[in-house]
Structure 1
Amino acid sequence: MNEVSEIRPKHHKPEGISDRIAYATVRFLRFFADLFFSGRYGNRAVVLETVAAVPGMVGGTIQHLNSLRRLKDDDGWIHTLLDEAENERMHLLTFIEVARPNWFERTLIIIAQGVFYNAFFLLYLVSSKTAHRVVGYLEEEAVYSYTEYLEGVDSGKYENIPAPQIAIDYWNLPKDARLREVIIAVRADEAKHRDVNHGFADTLKSNARD
């Protein structure tokens, strides 16, 4: 648990125009998330985790179809991406218990999911490398946000409420676990997704050069 709790934000320096576009896009989205949610990290997590669960499903679907069409193995990408989508969905279900979304946020979820799914699907078709880089940068921001959330809990700014039962079951947390342990577990997941997606982008970049 100590190794997980020591995870900190890190940044992949953009290389080339597609990386810069991906990074600028994510920073643009971060600006509006900060503007709208301010310090309401629980509510922020509910909306953003809804969006975060989209890329893995989109990528897994397209990689699945590519594997069938090309009659080639996927080298484990499909399983990894679908696991990512499921993991992000569990983040969402957990934070629904922490911060109950109101009707406006539920409407925002529907709109954000519809827009982002279609936009990401098209991006993945045009440039899967850029799509994975976008996700890598999104996950960088997620790690940063959850680190801020954790610092807020540690400082007493946010109440360290009991962990939802769904989180205790999913991450095998102690029965008396609190919100702090949930944030640490979620942040560790986001750090893993960050590294995996940047790795996928690097692989696709390398393959394009061969």
Structure 2
Amino acid sequence: MKQPTGFDTPEVSFENIHHTPQDWRDRAALRFVKFLRFFADRLFAGRYGHRAVVLETVAAVPGMVGGLLQHLKAIRHIRDDEGWIKELIEEADNERMHLMTFIHIAQPSRGERWMIMITQAIFYNFYFFLYLFLPRIAHRVVGYLEEEAVVSYTQYLEQIDAGTVENVPAPQIAKDYWGLSDNARLREVVIVIRADEAAHRDTNHDFANKIADGSHN
């Protein structure tokens, strides 16, 4: 289980960072993510809880795929993975907990549950082959996806602060996982999840950079 981050107050330090594309690979990854963002914005508009349920289903895929392929690669080449496998699997589990949390908050409809299954099936197969043949782009895609997640959760917080979204009590699963206080509410949940997404953003951009400069093959 993830150890409590301590980010259970609105005063958590936070940076909204964007990785500037360096070449056609980075630009392709960014354009793909912006394409996905376009459809997500139109499909869910201001329904941030329901949006999180579907998008966290996608977000939980890359870490598991990357961890699996890095595991097989390390075995195949009989070399150390440099901590990548553990990092990626933990990322996947963390994103899964985001999903479990928002399931309690948003209560997705039967249609949205079908959308979750279909989206996961499509994205898993796409990402598996992307990572298999172009791991640098795969990590950059995740880095940019996490940048967009940070933006979305920041907007979510703004809606909560404005009173547009009800600041409901945090579900017990979130209190247990992040070590939040008994009286924690949705606002604190969104803050810790945004911090997680920012960490995944930085990790995946760093992994893409290491592949690019040849320090990890």
CA distance in 1, matches of 2:215, 2:156: 39
Give every structure 1 segment of 4 or more consecutive aligned residues whose post-TM-superposition deviation is greater than 6 Å: none
Q: Report how far residue 202 of structure 1 moved.
A: 0.3
Q: 2:118 aligned with 1:102, yes or no? A: no
Please tell me the root mean square deviation across aligned C-alpha atoms, in Å: 1.5
Per the alignment, residue 25 of structure 2 pairs with 18
Per the alignment, residue 185 of structure 2 pairs with 178
Per the alignment, residue 199 of structure 2 pairs with 192
Quick one: structure 1 residues 194 and 121, their matched pair in 2 at CA, closer, same or farther if it must change by over 3 Å? same
CA distance in 2, matches of 1:152, 1:77: 36
**Any residues of structure 2 matched to 1:120-159 within 5 Å, and which?**
120-159=127-166
Equivalent of residue 53 in structure 2, options 46, 51, 54: 46
The SS at the match of 1:5 is: coil
CA distance in 2, matches of 1:42, 1:193: 20
TM-score of the superposition, structure 2-length normalised?
0.94
Equivalent of residue 208 in structure 2, options 192, 201, 205: 201
TM-score of the superposition, structure 1-length normalised?
0.97
Equivalent of residue 125 in structure 2, options 98, 118, 126: 118
Q: Which amino acid aligns with 1:117?
A: Y
Q: Which amino acid aligns with 2:89?
A: L
Quick one: structure 1 residues 4 and 90, their matched pair in 2 at CA, closer, same or farther if it must change by over 3 Å? farther
5+ unaligned residues in a row in structure 2: which ranges?
1-6
- Deviation by residue 1:153-172 (Cα, 9 ceiling, x = unmatched): 01111000000000000000
CA distance in 2, matches of 1:173, 1:7: 18
Per the alignment, residue 66 of structure 1 pairs with 73
Q: 2:39 aligned with 1:32, yes or no? A: yes
5+ unaligned residues in a row in structure 1: which ranges?
none
The SS at the match of 2:79 is: coil
> Residue 4 of structure 1 contacts residue 184 of structure 1 at CA under 8 Å; is this kept in 2?
no
> Residue 46 of structure 1 contacts residue 101 of structure 1 at CA under 8 Å; is this kept in 2?
yes
CA distance in 2, matches of 1:41, 1:177: 19
- What percentage of residue pairs aligned between the two structures are identical? 59
The SS at the match of 2:213 is: helix
CA distance in 2, matches of 1:112, 1:15: 30
Q: Report how far residue 208 of structure 1 moved.
A: 7.5
Q: Report how far residue 126 of structure 1 moved.
A: 1.2
Per the alignment, residue 62 of structure 2 pairs with 55
Q: How many residues align?
A: 210
Quick one: structure 1 residues 4 and 114, their matched pair in 2 at CA, closer, same or farther if it must change by over 3 Å? farther
Per the alignment, residue 12 of structure 2 pairs with 5
CA distance in 1, matches of 2:188, 2:140: 28
Equivalent of residue 86 in structure 1, options 77, 93, 97: 93
